[in-house]
Amino acid sequence: MGNTRQEMTHMVNAMDRSYADQSTLHAEDPLSITFMDQHNFSPRLPNDPLVPTAVLVPITDENHSATAESSRLLDVPRYLCEGTESPYQTGQLHPAIRVADLLQHINLMKTSDSYGFKEEYESFFEGQSASWDVAKKDQNRAKNRYGNIIAYDHSRVILQPVEDDPSSDYINANYIDIWLYRDGYQRPSHYIATQGPVHETVYDFWRMIWQEQSACIVMVTNLVEVGRVKCYKYWPDDTEVYGDFKVTCVEMEPLAEYVVRTFTLER
């Protein structure tokens, strides 16, 4: 695998052994996982309104905030996070740019003498913008790759505790709700932004995938960059068991700039 390739993971329904043609959720199986290929997406929706549609594994660095690519995903409904009053300064909000206007916007930003990409980058807020008390607890510190890129309390993904261990509900991951204008309507797209797993959190990562019924994992970092480990290899080349989860790689498609892998997930 080339050093510059990124990873895109598709999850297929492991409950149905005929996964090759699996493209919809089984109504009788609330923990089924939808298969998505690059062009065709299931029109059916899961019954659970709390299901986000993707997990983004972002590039992270001690001195930079997390970044992540978006991708085309299923329109799966989920309750939006309620707005909360925050004592923290969040900086100026930047309006979204329509795809049709993106090229024009880029050209304007490249040629502007007063407000270009440099000024836009410098206007981004740096630092803490909400409370992160749970992430700062002693029992959770080892679960964070970096001490200053951690999960905010109000939108963090809360895992179902394991064996009555209250600290096992924490993972460095937050829900993101984005409203996009598509087909003449404002529609929500739901994501989870999470860190590249460390060795100790691989099981928690797959717990989250199962619990949230995530259909797609978009990894926008390499395992190692500039000699530094950015993400633990959380997926198998063949089959691997993580706790009570069995993950099997059923297909791998190397492309020019990234690799697409398809997995089954069983419990």
> What burial class does residue 55 get, using C-beta atoms within 10 Å of its C-beta: 0-12 exposed, 13-18 middle, 19+ buried?
buried
N residues, the chain: 267
The pLDDT of residue 182: 65
Domain residue ranges of the chain, discontinuous segments joined by +: 6-90+125-266
The pLDDT of residue 81: 43
Q: What is the CATH number of domain 6-90+125-266?
A: 3.90.190
Report how far residue 108's alpha carbon sits from residue 82's, in angstroms, rounded to the nearest whole number.
35
CB 224 within 8 A of CB 2: no
> What burial class does residue 26 get, using C-beta atoms within 10 Å of its C-beta: 0-12 exposed, 13-18 middle, 19+ buried?
middle
Q: Kindly give the confidence (pLDDT) of every residue in the chain, 267 residues in length, as a single tens digit, with 9 standing for 90 and above.
A: 444 445 555 555 333 332 222 222 223 333 333 333 222 223 223 333 333 335 665 433 443 333 333 333 333 333 344 444 555 554 556 677 888 999 999 999 999 888 888 888 888 777 888 999 999 999 999 999 999 899 999 999 999 999 888 889 999 999 988 776 667 777 777 899 999 999 999 999 999 999 999 999 999 999 999 999 999 999 999 999 999 999 999 999 999 999 999 999 999
3-state secondary structure 206-243: HHHHHHHCCCEEEECCCCEECCEECCCCCCCCCEEEEC
The pLDDT of residue 235: 97
pTM flag (> 0.75): no
CB 138 within 8 A of CB 147: no
CB 153 within 8 A of CB 134: yes
